[in-house]
Structure 1
Amino acid sequence: MNFQLELFNQMRRVAESDRQKGAWPPPPRSRVSILPSWACHVPLSSCLLVASLKQAYAQPIVVAWGENDNGQTNVLLGLTNVVAIAAGGFHSLALQRNGTVVAWGNNASGQTNVPLGLSNVVAISAGDSHSLALNANGTVVGWGDNSYGQTNVPPELTDAVGIAGGVGHSLALRRNGTIVAWGCNNEGQTNVPSGLSNVVAIAASGYHSLALEGNGTVVAWGDNDYLESAVPPGLSNVAAIAAGEFHSLALQNNGSVVAWGDNGFSQTNVPPGLTNAIAIAAGYGHCLALQANGIVIGWGFNYYGQTNVSPGLSNVAAIAAGGFYSMALSGNAAVVPVIQTVPAAGGAVAFTWSAELGRTYQVQYKSDLLQTNWSDLGAVITATNGTMSASDPIKAGPSQRFYRLVLLP
């Protein structure tokens, strides 16, 4: 049985930029945007569980810092009920709890012109100058720059569960674990390796693409001038991936971060004291990591102050790295509820997550992402300590199951 835990309100991380490849310094309006994605993967017999999380904070706040030539860090006044963020080359996206999308920043290619009537969105991704949205029904909507056909979503794509936007190409993860790619292919970034399947997460950069397989290994293709597609031998137990312009990141199940590729700005020099990471994001030449305590760590290129995380920024639930700027979604909870382990034990799927004393949580599930409603798995759980657990008996019947963890207000 392929029990899969899928995050609905986390964005899939991707990288993007429209600068001329290899040029430095980049033109004034050349940027890479990368959207973080986080997932915890734990093998269950021959299957890998993709554990994800829905955060339901009372009033999350979007914070942005770094380069602001196009107003990409000018968070819209009154923006509330945000559950996901995405950072593009010069523009920013926010997904609200009601399934609508808000955009701001550069609009030269219409990338902030959210299509009228767009609703029921469950994930967002910002390319360099284009935007993507994943609808609850598995369809994908694209808008903005279409110079390479990156917003021409294949009409047969109706079962997507993840999206990623690069400079001129786009990726979608299908429900069956395969990848669909379209748009610019000058470096082979849309040439999905033959036979690639059982994929649980995707990432797209300017010129290369990454896929995380269900067994916790990473596959890369496209540009490799800086060895950004040369996955370190033996890399395993990976929970999330992020693709920078010419570098790549992997988050392992134990909370450590691995980086490879271009290191011209020390972007692959992971801080030695970085532990307990639960999310990663990669920009043009900088990186971000979100720790389980809600604190953000930044390193790499810092000309625009994109790695200067404010000392007062805490309780962060999500991060995103744009070309030369950074974003964070800060919630009211003191502890971000992250599913830490999902082992198979005694014929059941067991969940363990970090919790805040006194807060209430609800594990929910559905057998098909196209179903409208989620079902509660057991009763509401009130945290009595910093680590809480729940389980779901594995029974014959559904071939798959999607879970989410909700932090109740």
Structure 2
Amino acid sequence: MHTRHSMAYGLVISFVLCLLSGQAAFAAVIIQISCGGFHSLALRSDGTVWAWGLNVHGQLGDGTNSDRKTPAPVKGLDNVAAIAGGVWHSLALKRDGTVWAWGANWAGQLGDGTTRSRNTPIPVTDLRGITAIATKGQHSIVLKSDGTVWAWGRNEYGQLGDGTTTDRQTPVPTRALKDVISLAVGGYHSLARTAGGTIWAWGLNKYGQVGDASIADRVIPVSLRGLEGIIGINCGGDHSIALKNNGVVLTWGFNQYGQLGDATTDSRSTPCPVEGLKNVIATDGGGDHTLALKSDGTVWAWGSNNLGQLGDATNMGRGLPTLVKNLDHVTSVSCGGQHSLALRSDGTVWAWGLNKNGQLGDGSASNRNAPVPVVIK
């Protein structure tokens, strides 16, 4: 009897340990990726955030200002539902609807009422009920559950949409917007999509990135005409991207490096279709390049490629979409200033492009013109 009880007890312990092990493995699954300008972020299903790359401003949130060539956990941050990387700072949306920020803060992009940079997360002042976050430049915008948009940080070109060009150290409401369901941020401009399908844009418009057929900066959001069936919006540094419900991609703005994907280098102030691309389910824009994820799990890229950010095993710029090499079963993509990330269905993260600061997370500082796996422990 003693032996049977011991065996039974041992089986129970083994079963419990197995369950715990399985839960731990599940907790380690990556569910979201986001590139900053020169750093990278990953969100795990256990609500923790991991970061790697440039850290001179504390944008990795690990309590130091030292670059990291492999992912490290962001300190004191849990229960996170979404992440977003800016050029020098980072944002996290918690499950309780609060927003946390860390990194550079000279323009107030952390939203804590100061211009002091932080190397660990701090809460954004007086924000509750947030459902979405966005950043890519030096400003931050968020969506409240009531459909309103709030913004803070750099505002030199009106990218906060509050009717001024004054930087803001705490959130202010973006004017003229309601019933918003998604957001996107570029280097110095912003986009919003409403429940009714209207796309709004504001901020720097030097290259037509606002998309209103002008090159006049907009300090208050303007609605874009002729855009129907849009289900996704993204921004690059100075260009904009819209995904239609038929899988077609539209782009506008700066095009010196072919990042609009229309086989020219002519900038455009109204949306135009990307040539030869269909069945797209997600997009993102980098400094001067663009990525598209197709329904078959392949990734396509175009634009600047001097550092391998297109991932086609060359360093040749492309004015038309080219297939990213040796990458399949992809579920999401993200673009940094000059690097790219992809998340596969097996939970692995792959990276390519500039790696001077370790932003590819492969343990080296070597640029890569084809995808390499990120070393996530």
TM-score range, shorter chain: 0.5 to 0.7
Task: Give 2:337's aligned residue.
Answer: 323
CA distance in 2: counterparts of 1:277 and 1:59, whole angstroms? 31
* 1:311 corresponds to which of 321, 325, 330: 325
Work out whether residues 84 and 136 of structure 2, in 8 Å CA contact, stay in contact via their aligned partners in 1.
no
Task: State the shift of 1:236 in Å.
Answer: 1.5
Deviations 1:376-406 (A, max 9, x none): xxxxxxxxxxxxxxxxxxxxxxxxxxxxxxx
Task: Give 2:57's aligned residue.
Answer: 109
Deviations 1:287-338 (A, max 9, x none): 00001111100011111111124432000011000001110001139xxxxx
Identity in percent: 42
Task: Give 1:157's aligned residue.
Answer: 127
Task: State the shift of 1:150 in Å.
Answer: 0.4
CA distance in 1: counterparts of 2:136 and 2:275, whole angstroms? 29
| Structure with the greater alpha carbon radius of gyration | 2
Task: Give 1:302's aligned residue.
Answer: 305
Residue 278 of structure 1 pairs with residue 281 of structure 2: yes
Task: Give 1:67's aligned residue.
Answer: none
Amino acid at match of 1:220: A
Amino acid at match of 1:171: I
> Structure 2 stretches of 5 or more lacking a match?
1-23, 63-73, 113-123, 163-173, 213-223, 263-273, 313-323, 348-377
Residue 293 of structure 1 pairs with residue 263 of structure 2: no
Task: State the shift of 1:80 in Å.
Answer: 4.7
Task: Give 1:219's aligned residue.
Answer: 200
Higher relative contact order (CA 8 A, sep 6+): 1
CA distance in 2: counterparts of 1:117 and 1:332, whole angstroms? 27
Deviations 1:200-240 (A, max 9, x none): 11011111111011122210000000010124630121111
* 1:181 corresponds to which of 108, 127, 151: 151
Residue 269 of structure 1 pairs with residue 261 of structure 2: yes
Task: State the shift of 1:263 in Å.
Answer: 1.0
Q: Which has the higher helix share?
A: 2
Task: State the shift of 1:194 in Å.
Answer: 2.5
Task: Give 1:241's aligned residue.
Answer: 233
Task: State the shift of 1:59 in Å.
Answer: 8.4
Work out whether residues 28 and 46 of structure 2, in 8 Å CA contact, stay in contact via their aligned partners in 1.
no
Amino acid at match of 1:138: G
Work out whether residues 246 and 261 of structure 1, in 8 Å CA contact, stay in contact via their aligned partners in 2.
yes
Amino acid at match of 1:260: W
Task: Give 1:389's aligned residue.
Answer: none
CA distance in 2: counterparts of 1:275 and 1:99, whole angstroms? 34
RMSD: 2.0
Work out whether residues 37 and 136 of structure 2, in 8 Å CA contact, stay in contact via their aligned partners in 1.
no
Work out whether residues 137 and 237 of structure 2, in 8 Å CA contact, stay in contact via their aligned partners in 1.
no
Moved more, 190-199 or 119-128: 190-199
TM-score, normalization by structure 1: 0.60
* 1:207 corresponds to which of 172, 176, 188: 188
CA distance in 1: counterparts of 2:151 and 2:181, whole angstroms? 15
Aligned pairs, number: 258
CA distance in 1: counterparts of 2:241 and 2:198, whole angstroms? 12
Task: State the shift of 1:273 in Å.
Answer: 2.1
Task: Give 2:358's aligned residue.
Answer: none
Work out whether residues 59 and 331 of structure 1, in 8 Å CA contact, stay in contact via their aligned partners in 2.
no
Q: Secondary structure at the match of 2:152?
A: strand
CA distance in 2: counterparts of 1:80 and 1:301, whole angstroms? 34
CA distance in 2: counterparts of 1:267 and 1:166, whole angstroms? 17
Residue 145 of structure 1 pairs with residue 104 of structure 2: yes
TM-score, normalization by structure 2: 0.65
Q: Secondary structure at the match of 1:155?
A: coil
CA distance in 1: counterparts of 2:111 and 2:311, whole angstroms? 37
